[in-house]
Amino acid sequence: MKLRVLYFARLRERLGVAEESLDFAGTTAADLVAQLQARGGAWTEELAAGRAFRVAVNQDIVALDARLTDGAEVAIFPPVTGG
Protein backbone atom coordinates (compact mmCIF):
# COMPACT_ATOMS: atom_id res chain seq x y z
CA MET A 1 0.00 0.00 0.00
CA LYS A 2 0.98 3.66 -0.36
CA LEU A 3 1.35 5.93 2.66
CA ARG A 4 1.97 9.62 3.04
CA VAL A 5 4.31 10.13 5.99
CA LEU A 6 4.87 13.48 7.71
CA TYR A 7 7.51 14.45 10.27
CA PHE A 8 7.41 17.42 12.60
CA ALA A 9 9.58 19.60 14.83
CA ARG A 10 12.81 18.07 16.16
CA LEU A 11 12.22 14.80 14.29
CA ARG A 12 11.75 16.64 10.97
CA GLU A 13 15.07 18.39 11.51
CA ARG A 14 16.96 15.30 12.69
CA LEU A 15 15.62 13.09 9.87
CA GLY A 16 16.00 15.82 7.25
CA VAL A 17 12.58 15.26 5.70
CA ALA A 18 9.19 16.91 6.24
CA GLU A 19 7.06 14.62 4.10
CA GLU A 20 7.41 11.56 1.87
CA SER A 21 5.34 9.05 -0.05
CA LEU A 22 6.28 5.47 0.57
CA ASP A 23 5.42 1.89 -0.27
CA PHE A 24 4.52 -0.14 2.77
CA ALA A 25 4.14 -3.90 2.88
CA GLY A 26 3.45 -4.24 6.61
CA THR A 27 0.25 -4.02 8.66
CA THR A 28 0.62 -1.82 11.73
CA ALA A 29 2.18 1.48 12.77
CA ALA A 30 4.86 -0.55 14.55
CA ASP A 31 5.74 -2.25 11.24
CA LEU A 32 6.14 1.17 9.63
CA VAL A 33 8.38 2.38 12.47
CA ALA A 34 10.51 -0.77 12.04
CA GLN A 35 10.78 -0.16 8.29
CA LEU A 36 11.89 3.44 8.87
CA GLN A 37 14.27 2.49 11.66
CA ALA A 38 16.08 0.10 9.28
CA ARG A 39 17.27 3.10 7.25
CA GLY A 40 20.13 3.58 9.72
CA GLY A 41 21.72 6.75 11.12
CA ALA A 42 19.33 9.24 12.72
CA TRP A 43 16.37 6.99 11.76
CA THR A 44 17.70 4.10 13.83
CA GLU A 45 18.59 6.39 16.71
CA GLU A 46 15.41 8.52 16.86
CA LEU A 47 12.92 5.68 16.36
CA ALA A 48 14.62 3.21 18.72
CA ALA A 49 12.50 1.47 21.37
CA GLY A 50 12.24 3.69 24.44
CA ARG A 51 12.60 6.95 22.50
CA ALA A 52 9.70 9.33 23.03
CA PHE A 53 7.76 9.90 19.82
CA ARG A 54 4.10 9.87 18.85
CA VAL A 55 2.37 8.42 15.81
CA ALA A 56 -0.85 9.85 14.35
CA VAL A 57 -2.89 8.16 11.62
CA ASN A 58 -5.24 10.37 9.64
CA GLN A 59 -4.67 13.07 12.27
CA ASP A 60 -5.51 11.03 15.37
CA ILE A 61 -2.82 9.90 17.81
CA VAL A 62 -2.73 6.07 17.84
CA ALA A 63 -0.96 3.25 19.64
CA LEU A 64 1.74 1.39 17.70
CA ASP A 65 -0.51 -1.62 17.16
CA ALA A 66 -2.91 0.49 15.04
CA ARG A 67 -3.51 -0.98 11.57
CA LEU A 68 -2.62 1.21 8.60
CA THR A 69 -4.74 1.41 5.47
CA ASP A 70 -3.89 2.31 1.88
CA GLY A 71 -3.56 6.05 1.37
CA ALA A 72 -3.33 6.83 5.08
CA GLU A 73 -1.66 10.01 6.30
CA VAL A 74 0.77 8.97 9.01
CA ALA A 75 2.63 11.52 11.10
CA ILE A 76 5.55 10.90 13.42
CA PHE A 77 6.50 13.62 15.90
CA PRO A 78 7.99 14.34 19.33
CA PRO A 79 5.74 14.70 22.40
CA VAL A 80 3.90 17.99 22.03
CA THR A 81 4.96 21.21 23.78
CA GLY A 82 2.34 23.84 22.99
CA GLY A 83 0.28 25.99 25.33
Partner 1 sequence: MKILVQSEAFDLGAEVDALRQGRTDVGAIASFVGLARDMNEGSGVQAMTLEHYPGMTEKALAALVAEACGRWTLLDVTVIHRVGRLLPGDPIVLVAVASQHRGEAFAACEFIMDYLKTQAPFWKKEETPQGERWVEARASDDAAAARWDQP
**Site residues for partner 1 per CB under 8 A:** 6, 8-10, 52, 56, 59-61, 75, 77-83
**Nearer to partner 1 by C-beta: 60 or 70?**
60
Q: To the nearest whole angstrom, how small is the minimum distance from the Cβ of residue 19 to partner 1?
A: 11
Q: To the nearest whole angstrom, how small is the minimum distance from the Cβ of residue 38 to partner 1?
A: 25
Beta bridge partners of 22: 3
- Contacts (Cβ under 8 Å, ≥6 apart) of 33: 47, 55, 64, 76
Q: To the nearest whole angstrom, how small is the minimum distance from the Cβ of residue 83 to partner 1?
A: 4
- Contacts (Cβ under 8 Å, ≥6 apart) of 30: 64, 65
